């Protein structure tokens, strides 16, 4: 199968997104680097596109199940869109080394907050 690695990465990312609302960044970025040979920046940029589609699919399931909060959606989407523009701009300006370090710290802090 030509896209076996890509499909497995997508499957894992989708399951985590569906369960936890996360998975794109923490799965796609390191997997794209390690197993697909992507550069740090290309992995992050590609993960954003992957996350978009996975999130839409998961949101439809949550809406159908009555678990989607429409009152929160618009203000967070507005803020997130502005942040996405800024983050996309920063991605082109920051070195891969700094990007990797910041991403790693973010993942560790997030994990610690979830555990404790």
pLDDT tens-place string over residues 17-41: 778 777 667 889 999 999 999 998 9
Q: What is the C-alpha to C-alpha distance for residues 37 and 93, in angstroms, rounded to an integer?
A: 21
Dihedral sign from CA coordinates of 29, 34, 35, 36: positive
Q: Check if the beta carbon of residue 5 is closer than 8 Å to that of residue 20.
A: no
Q: What is the C-alpha to C-alpha distance for residues 22 and 15, in angstroms, rounded to an integer?
A: 9
More confident residue, 15 or 75: 75
Q: What is the C-alpha to C-alpha distance for residues 101 and 11, in angstroms, rounded to an integer?
A: 26
- pLDDT class for 7, splitting at 50, 70, 90? very high
What pLDDT is attached to residue 20? 79
Q: What is the C-alpha to C-alpha distance for residues 100 and 70, in angstroms, rounded to an integer?
A: 34
pTM beyond 0.85, yes or no: no
Which pLDDT tens digit goes with each residue over 55-105? 888 889 989 999 999 999 999 999 999 999 999 899 889 998 898 899 899
């Amino acid at each position: 199968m030509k896209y076996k690695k890509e499909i497995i990465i997508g499957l894992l990312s989708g399951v985590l997104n569906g369960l936890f609302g996360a998975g794109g960044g923490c799965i796609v970025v390191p997997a794209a680097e390690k197993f697909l040979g992507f550069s740090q920046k290309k992995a992050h940029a590609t993960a954003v596109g992957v996350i978009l589609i996975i999130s839409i699919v998961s949101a439809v399931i949550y809406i159908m199940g009555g678990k989607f909060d429409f009152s929160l959606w618009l203000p967070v989407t507005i803020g997130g869109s502005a942040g996405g523009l800024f983050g996309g701009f920063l991605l082109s300006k920051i070195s891969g080394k700094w990007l990797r370090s910041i991403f790693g710290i973010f993942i560790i802090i997030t994990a610690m907050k979830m555990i404790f």
